[in-house]
């Protein structure tokens, strides 16, 4: 029994009840959304029996964010990756994906699943590829075994590039950056070498069988997502999206939950169209987007280029945002990159939640506004997405001012003015004063 | 003679010719836009006779960004501020505003004007206030003299809060954060204390006379801009906007150039409406927005919360974006905050230019895509908005990989794979390989 099958039978599961509470919605509404395929609960039964706290991902819920982590063949340190996972969750990641491609993939995955309470996603192809000399040596059985093994470990959702068909590959010739999805490029290489159709497409029903058994949620991977603004919204991308729509339908027929992965690199003016198209073609299946990046010329700042696109995507209906860190296009993220990426995406998700008027979304912003107007600095820090950073910057500024000749430290010990302007030019202080003048009138 | 008067007489000035070239547009088109009040060229004749390189600000042009700098009564170091100004311009600020409120305002302003080639803006009220014990001691003459003095120094545009009327003040009572504009709060305090109308409104024609003489561009300040999401798009904000529309018309009648300042803090879903409303009420006068911030709970990251709003604003027609730094709401920016703010806003402006299909806007993005696909790292750095940062991150990752046991350094000296994935999982490398396979077929 999966969450989807239960919902279709009219059953409200304990997970749906929990999600309803955390989203300020009715449990029956959650059930109906799951039944419509518009909401997924990535909760592998194995992980649920350990420490998973279930969450929902869907267009009617608070926007979720995912943090990608994992080692590479060039750099691997299991403890460091676990530390990063914990850091990402501490700053607010709703799910994590272990995208390891280096040594000890299996061990690291199990540790992550055992240690975290958020849903864990993987790309099962990576371990298959890592263990072979070349991806072209892979058989369908290799892959099915890997998926079953990873499902048994407790993985909550899996990215599989089942919708990239052989006939799509030629569309890539018009692109500037070809195929930029790792899974997509490996799948394409396999198809070319064997002159065969996509094995994940061919064995889709068998894969669904495994997914259903553990209630692993599908995350249909977009192997042909654009890797630059030039390639956005092209024939390759949309041909694959059409197949994703059909596979999503098929997966649901077989009792599975499905979400759809999305781009990538998209000019700002094409984001709304991309989201609307996905919703239409995939019948409202939750859209899980990577950014998108809206500007290709800012390596070192792609947490920002993509948080801009992510806000726009979530505003128009994307359900989960996969973070991008400042190291994107340059290297794998370190601890502080993870923090920067997570916070940028918490901002994007929150801005979209406020803009979509989700229940209680603006509550903390209003509390922050009051704390600012009352010069209550501790309350401001407590309400911040990153209290440590806010406190650090404030203290730095205050210490600098204290050392300065013009500081009126003694006179203003209670600091009822903003640290940017000082007492004479503090607008909020002036407003308090003029309100006093008005009362005295 | 101002640029506006020249344009109305059908004259194309040398400045219009320069701007046309840099924007890939026709000079006659630039003239027509100036004549329609939809494009301003903030170029004080005094500054123009020194080293100013004129730029245009308008809905049809590349989106411009401004960097605010200047000392405060709590912290002042003239050389440090000059360094910040130069740093801001190095990273791409199109204009700078000197918002000093501390000691030596006059000297610092003159140095900035003399040393920079970008337009310089100021808020003339700050010096007036700094020199008085209290703003309520100000007379109209104080202010007119200050404006004339600063115009003579060569200031290119001035923020004056002339549209905040006495009758608007009561609307502020419904707000959470009152008046958050420094100039706005001081003006309101003056009006309450004297029980008089806004002196800048009352003496508007005299101010226009000074502006016209030097061709200083008006930047009508929004003294009632919202300071939190709750206060956005309220009665106070829009009452002032109506007056701004009328003053813009009046200023043009008197031969002046005008732009309109905008918020502030606006939920993402209200940004389009705000920009459309400004364009309608102010008849297309260039909209110069501060952010807007789309989320109030991320102090320490407001360069990001506001770059998101700024992209949306520019996409819908804002002409200039005033940067916000990571220190916003916490303190004044240091050098690295200036850099972070400027780059975040270059990203916002560029993303909007691409989205609005401005001439040649996507050229560098396409070059970057090609450089990425060819593993041409030096070209990638050269095309970056911040080449130093991109190179720094890349080198850090590469050095880390080189020290790692799994590094294939000798085998891949030319590094034709991405530093994130390594050779086996590099999607672009795989695409090159599979293209080879297809050719061999």
User: Crossing angle for the helix pair A271-281 and A235-253, nearest 10 degrees?
Assistant: 30
> Does residue A14 lie in a domain region?
no
Q: Are residues B269 and B375 in the same domain?
A: no
Q: Are A271 and A309 in contact (CB under 8 A)?
A: yes
Residue B415 is predicted with a pLDDT of 66
> Does residue B5 lie in a domain region?
no
Q: Are residues B417 and B323 in the same domain?
A: no
Sign of CA dihedral B49, B323, B182, B284: positive
A9 and chain B in contact, CB less than 8 A: no
> Does residue B66 lie in a domain region?
yes
Q: CA-nearest residue of chain B to A407?
A: B74
* Chain A residue numbers touching B161 (CB-CB < 8 A): none
Q: Are A47 and A55 in contact (CB under 8 A)?
A: no
A65 and chain B in contact, CB less than 8 A: no
Strand partners, A121: A97, A157
Query: How many domains does the structure of chain A reveal?
Result: 2
User: Which of B184, B308, B437 is the closest to A348 by Cβ?
Assistant: B308
Tell me chain A's radius of gyration from C-alpha atoms: 24
Beta-carbon separation of B331 and A398 below 8 A: yes
Asked whether residue A411 carries a pLDDT value surpassing 60, the answer given is: no
Terminal Cα-to-Cα distance of chain A (whole angstroms): 71
> Does residue A217 lie in a domain region?
yes
Q: Are residues B105 and B205 in the same domain?
A: yes
Look at residues A290, A321, A355 and tell me which one is the last residue of a structural domain. Answer: A355
The single residue listed with the structure tokens 């309520």 is B136
A76 and chain B in contact, CB less than 8 A: yes
Average confidence (pLDDT) over A39-60? 98
pLDDT in tens, chain B (441 residues): 899 999 999 999 999 999 999 999 999 999 999 999 999 999 999 999 999 999 999 999 999 999 999 988 776 688 889 999 999 999 999 999 999 988 889 999 999 999 999 999 999 999 999 999 999 999 999 999 999 999 999 999 999 999 999 999 999 999 999 999 999 999 999 999 999 999 999 999 999 999 999 999 999 999 999 999 999 999 999 999 999 999 999 999 999 999 999 999 999 999 999 999 999 999 999 999 999 999 999 999 999 999 999 999 999 999 999 999 999 999 989 999 999 999 999 999 999 999 999 999 999 999 999 999 999 999 999 999 999 999 999 999 887 765 544 444 444 445 677 777 788 888 999 999 888 888 887
Name the token pair of A293: 């990046």
Distance from CA of B62 to the nearest CA of A (A): 15
A407 and chain B in contact, CB less than 8 A: yes
Q: How far is residue B432's CA from residue B412's CA, in Å, rounded to a whole number? A: 15
Residue A241 is predicted with a pLDDT of 98
Cβ neighbors of A131 (< 8 A, separation 6 or more) are: none
A34 and chain B in contact, CB less than 8 A: no
Residue A412 is predicted with a pLDDT of 42
A414 confidence band (pLDDT: 50, 70, 90) = low
Beta-carbon separation of A385 and B297 below 8 A: yes
A166 and chain B in contact, CB less than 8 A: no
Q: Are residues B378 and B263 in the same domain?
A: no
Q: Are residues A351 and A368 in the same domain?
A: no
Q: pLDDT tens digit string along A113-145?
A: 999 999 999 999 999 999 999 999 999 999 999
Residue B413 is predicted with a pLDDT of 42
Look at residues A333, A355, A377 and tell me which one is the last residue of a structural domain. Answer: A355
A437 confidence band (pLDDT: 50, 70, 90) = confident
> Does residue A5 lie in a domain region?
no
Residue A102 is predicted with a pLDDT of 86
Beta-carbon separation of A431 and B172 below 8 A: yes
* Chain B residue numbers touching A76 (CB-CB < 8 A): 404, 406
**Which of B330, B237, B338, B248 is CA-nearest to residue B292?**
B237
Q: Are residues A176 and A311 in the same domain?
A: yes
Beta-carbon separation of A315 and B269 below 8 A: yes
Residue A417 is predicted with a pLDDT of 77
> Does residue B18 lie in a domain region?
no
B390 and chain A in contact, CB less than 8 A: yes
A147: domain CATH number is 3.20.20.540
Name the token pair of B79: 């050389």
Q: CA-nearest residue of chain B to A295?
A: B351
Q: Are residues B168 and B222 in the same domain?
A: yes
User: Which of A393, A400, A437 is the closest to B326 by Cβ?
Assistant: A393
Q: CA-nearest residue of chain A to B373?
A: A177
A370 and chain B in contact, CB less than 8 A: yes
* Chain B residue numbers touching A335 (CB-CB < 8 A): none
Burial class (CB in 10 A: 0-12, 13-18, 19+), B440: exposed
Q: Which of residues 316-345 of B touch A (CB under 8 A)?
A: 326-332, 343-344
Look at residues A318, A335, A355 and tell me which one is the last residue of a structural domain. Answer: A355
Average confidence (pLDDT) over A62-78? 87
Residue B111 is predicted with a pLDDT of 95
Q: Are residues A175 and A319 in the same domain?
A: yes
* Chain B residue numbers touching A386 (CB-CB < 8 A): 298, 300-301
Cβ neighbors of B201 (< 8 A, separation 6 or more) are: B162, B163, B164, B165, B243, B247
Asked whether residue A385 carries a pLDDT value surpassing 50, the answer given is: yes
A132 and chain B in contact, CB less than 8 A: no
- Nearest 10 degrees: Cα torsion B309, B314, B317, B322: 90
A274 and chain B in contact, CB less than 8 A: no
Cβ neighbors of B318 (< 8 A, separation 6 or more) are: B63, B262, B275, B287, B288, B289, B310
H or E element that contains A39:
strand A39-40
Select the residue from A129, A222, A273, A308 to test the B interface by mutation, using most B Cβ atoms within 10 A: A308
Average confidence (pLDDT) over A179-190? 96
Range(s) of the domain holding residue A273: 59-355
User: Which of A228, A312, A372 is the closest to B177 by Cβ?
Assistant: A372
Cβ neighbors of A204 (< 8 A, separation 6 or more) are: A162, A247, A250, A251
Q: pLDDT tens digit string along A326-346?
A: 999 999 899 999 999 999 999
Asked whether residue A48 carries a pLDDT value surpassing 60, the answer given is: yes
Kindly provide the ipTM of the predicted complex, given to two decimals. 0.96
Percent of chain A with pLDDT over 90: 86
Q: Are residues B137 and B113 in the same domain?
A: yes
b/e per residue, A106-116, with b = 16+ CB within 10 A? Answer: bebbebbbeeb
Asked whether residue A264 carries a pLDDT value surpassing 70, the answer given is: yes
3-state secondary structure of A407: coil
Q: Are residues A232 and A344 in the same domain?
A: yes
> Does residue B172 lie in a domain region?
yes
* Chain B residue numbers touching A180 (CB-CB < 8 A): 427-428, 431
Q: Are residues A401 and A432 in the same domain?
A: yes
3-state secondary structure of A363: helix
> Does residue B393 lie in a domain region?
yes
Q: Are residues B116 and B252 in the same domain?
A: yes
H or E element that contains B120:
strand B120-122
């Amino acid at each position: 029994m999966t969450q989807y099958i239960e919902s279709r039978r009219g059953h409200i599961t304990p997970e749906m009840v929990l999600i309803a509470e955390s989203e300020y919605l009715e449990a029956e509404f959650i059930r109906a959304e799951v039944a419509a395929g518009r909401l997924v609960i990535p909760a592998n039964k194995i992980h649920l029996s350990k420490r998973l706290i279930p969450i929902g991902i869907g267009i009617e819920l608070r926007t979720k964010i995912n943090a990608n982590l994992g080692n590479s063949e060039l750099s691997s340190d299991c403890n460091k990756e676990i530390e990063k996972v914990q850091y990402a969750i501490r700053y607010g990641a709703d799910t994590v994906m272990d995208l390891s491609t280096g040594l000890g993939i299996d061990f690291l995955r199990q540790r992550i699943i055992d240690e975290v309470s958020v849903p864990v996603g993987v790309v099962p192809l990576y371990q298959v590829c890592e263990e072979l000399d070349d991806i072209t040596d892979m058989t369908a059985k290799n892959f099915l075994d890997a998926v079953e093994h990873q499902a048994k470990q407790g993985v909550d959702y899996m990215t599989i590039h089942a919708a990239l068909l052989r006939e799509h590959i030629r569309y890539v010739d018009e692109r500037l950056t070809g195929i930029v999805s790792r899974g997509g490029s490996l799948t394409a290489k396999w198809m070319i070498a064997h002159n065969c159709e996509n094995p994940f497409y061919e064995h889709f029903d068998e894969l669904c069988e495994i997914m259903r058994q553990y209630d692993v949620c599908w995350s249909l991977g977009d192997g042909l997502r654009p890797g630059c603004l030039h390639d956005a919204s092209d024939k390759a991308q949309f041909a694959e999206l059409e197949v994703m729509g059909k596979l999503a339908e098929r997966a649901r027929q077989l009792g599975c939950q499905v979400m759809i992965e999305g781009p990538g690199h998209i000019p700002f003016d094409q984001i709304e169209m991309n989201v609307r198209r996905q919703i239409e073609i995939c019948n409202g299946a939750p859209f899980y987007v990577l950014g998108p990046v809206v500007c290709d010329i800012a390596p070192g700042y792609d947490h920002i280029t993509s948080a801009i696109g992510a806000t726009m995507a979530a505003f128009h209906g994307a359900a989960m945002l996969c973070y991008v860190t400042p190291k994107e296009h340059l290297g794998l993220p370190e601890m502080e990159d993870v923090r920067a990426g997570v916070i940028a995406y918490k901002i994007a998700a929150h801005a979209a939640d406020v803009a979509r008027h989700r229940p209680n979304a603006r509550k903390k912003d209003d509390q922050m506004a009051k704390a600012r107007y009352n010069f209550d600095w501790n309350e401001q820090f407590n309400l911040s997405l990153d209290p440590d950073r806010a406190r650090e910057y404030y203290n730095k500024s205050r210490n600098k001012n204290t050392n300065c000749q013009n500081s009126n430290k003694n006179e203003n010990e209670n600091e009822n003015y903003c640290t940017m302007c000082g007492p004479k030019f503090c607008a909020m202080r002036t407003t308090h004063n003029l309100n006093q003048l008005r009362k005295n009138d």
